[in-house]
Amino acid sequence: MSYVKIWIHAVWSVKNRQPILIENVRQDLFEHIHKNAVGKDILMEIVGGHNNHVHCLFRLKNDQTIEKVMQLIKGESSFWFNKTNMNQNKLNWQKEYFAVSVSESQVDTVRNYISNQEEHHKKKTWDEEYNEFITKYGFKVLKG
């Protein structure tokens, strides 16, 4: 048996960063993402976010890739959201996402960060958060 414990913090946004994840539907969406992930044997710890983006913390199993996990989570969740007519807007996710590893010592910090997105975004906009991720993790933004 292989033993793997790789924590991933992933973040993705609604296409064009449209704020369609209004308060009364986003919790249902986040719960659905969590339940669906677990049903697909994804070790999902927590899902949260705000009106135009989602954060999740999960563990990769030895036969999973970040790309495949994200494909399963994002594709099914937008299909479900649109099928259930959660609101008048159709949900389309941006193709891109952030995914970074999380050390075991930081799991509680990331979990708390994700669960407190409502408070966090009273102080910081999505654009500020986006730029912070780009800088903090040394991502280069491709233009063109």
- In tens digits, the chain (144 residues) has pLDDT values of 788 899 999 999 999 999 999 988 999 999 999 999 999 999 999 999 999 999 999 999 999 999 999 999 999 999 999 999 777 889 999 999 999 999 999 999 999 999 998 887 888 887 888 888 788 888 876 554
- pLDDT of 13 reads 94
Q: Comparing C-alpha atoms, which of 2, 10, 8 is closest to residue 59? A: 8
C-alpha 71: how far from chain center: 12
- pLDDT of 53 reads 95
CB 8 within 8 A of CB 60: yes
**pLDDT tens figures, 98-131:** 999 999 999 999 999 999 988 878 888 878 888 8
- pLDDT of 142 reads 54
Q: Which fold has domain 6-136?
A: Alpha-Beta Plaits (3.30.70)
Q: Comparing C-alpha atoms, which of 136, 115, 129 is closest to residue 17? A: 129
In the block, tokens 């959660």 appear at 86
pTM (2 d.p.) = 0.89
